[in-house]
Chain A
Amino acid sequence: MTIPRPTVLRFKLRTELNPVDLMEYLRPGGKILLNRNEWRGKPPRSCALTNMKVRSFVPGKRGAIEADLEVEYRPPGYVNFVGGTRYDGWTLTMLDKAQDGTLLDGHGKPLPTGSPPVYLPFEVYDDVDFNDLDFGEFLGESEAGAVRHLTFEDVTKQAGEYVMGGGSGRMGSGWTTFVAPRRHRPLVKVVIMDGPSGVGADGFGTRIVGVNAMSPHLRQQVEDELTEVACGYVEGRYSLVTMELGGAAYVDLSQVLVDGLHSEEGARLQCLPRHVSETFMDDLAKKLMATYTLDVAVVDGPRAGFVMRVVDPK
């Protein structure tokens, strides 16, 4: 499945307006507006002016000013997050569920077993005809905001370079300097099992999150648990199998999920792709980046996981 890519279109505008009037012209009422109609080959409601930098303006002197404008293109199908809120393109979406948490089908009825969750769309942005606005000279369009993808080989190569540079590159679950370490930071396994759902611990202190295989929305439940595990790792509550990459960490999510219904090792472990949606890793990466000051790249393949790097907020 191809995930639509967001882009940024850059413009240079020369205008006689002063910055205050320019703001009112491009952002009336302080609002970010979307394109009402097709504009530069982009479908309606997929573009918004998100950044404007005014240059060469002398207060009190009226004359041409220059402004750098950036228009963000977020195609329908491109999922992104603000905090915990999910957006599809520029449309806010909310999981359809009743107040007691029961998932609904979009028409007020309980979601049939096995059906994917339904997200209800809400439009929170106003729109205007971009063809009527003067954005100035078009400078170019470049990809932006997409989650980087790596292979496990890319990760080991990076680790090798780090070791050559004097780093230890050790693989294990004990690297806790990534966040403030807790005294107790257990490893976590999410196990799909015959028994009832619940949380327990094995003899080594590993936190075992059991998910009943007959749960009506198994995929959603597994995704929720994996999201909790990933957030818990970043917050220093849980340990996961990681590899230190010099300021970054490879976090192996593939080893978290265990399919307890299969006895052969290949089916028991590395079963992540079977139990999550195709877009899950991308969505989770975006959610993590929206919540924490992190840069996250997705590692594809059987050793699916993330490469996480703490971003300096400055």
Chain B
Amino acid sequence: MDDGIFVFIDGESHYHRSEEAWQSLHGPSASLADLRPRGQLDGRLVLVERRTKVFWTKRMSAGAKRYFYLTACTGDDGAVRAAMQQMRDFDLEPTVFKEHSSLAKQRDATRRTAYLIETAKRVDIALVVLMLKAARERQFRECHLYTSDVDFAPAIEAVRAMGAFRVTVFGYDNGLGDKSELRLVCDQFVDLASSLRDDYELITPDRPQVGGAS
């Protein structure tokens, strides 16, 4: 049995909730691309790719062994490949599903009008399969799941039921009730909003960044 931490990221939920939290801290025009770890202006510590809904920093779950980022995007094969290469260069193991633009638009409209994040079903199912497979093969001893989607609760229960696995969920309190299943089924629930507030800062034009952010 391995003794590392595996990280599974529900890309779309993580990206949109993070963007909302960041904008509630710094105003509606604040962009995740202008986020830096406090005191570290180097852009290479942060990966933001709007089109594929990628948001990750080197501080998130630092010390884990593997990072699986699952997301969906529209666009041509070249764009998908480029996004996957970018994620690999950042030590993320990407799974990017291409989807029809009409579906993506429909979900985007739902998000804007009903404030409800509907993620691509293939992403959710692929994430659950990946997580259960790794747990069944006992590849990790601890699992970090980045999502605010309560639909993952049964998968978390299943992983924990397999034995000595700890599951920590990193999500956003906002929108989850006090008795949300997502909060109750895991070993630890971490509200990322406080992490965004305490661990990161907004770079402004008078504090130019160092290095390249995407």
Contact = CB atoms under 8 A, between A and B. Distances in A.
Contacts of B174: none
Contact of A20 (B42, B188, B194): B188
Contacts of B190: 29-30
B148 to A, nearest CB: 15
Given A85-B91, A122-B40, A314-B137, A23 B188 contact: yes
Interface in B35-94: 37, 40, 42, 44-45, 58-59, 61-67, 89, 91
A50 B63 contact: yes
A16 B40 CA distance: 39
A222 interface: no
A76 B170 CA distance: 30
Nearest to B186: A20
Given A99-B212, A314-B137, A122 B194 contact: no
Contacts of B168: 23, 30
A23 B2 CA distance: 20
Nearest to B198: A29
Nearest to B65: A82
B63 A122 contact: no
Question: What is the size category of the interface that chain B forms with chain A?
Answer: 20 to 34
Contacts of A125: 62-63
Nearest to A53: B164
A147 B33 CA distance: 39
B58 A48 contact: no
B58 A29 contact: no
Given A48-B63, A82-B91, A94-B44, A30 B58 contact: no
Nearest to A48: B63
A164 interface: no
Contacts of A29: 190, 194-195
B138 interface: yes
10 contacts: A29-B194, A30-B168, A30-B188, A31-B62, A32-B62, A83-B66, A83-B91, A84-B91, A123-B40, A126-B199
Given A23-B188, A83-B66, A314-B137, 15 more contacts: A20-B187, A23-B187, A29-B194, A29-B195, A30-B61, A48-B63, A53-B164, A82-B63, A82-B91, A83-B91, A84-B91, A85-B58, A92-B62, A94-B44, A123-B40
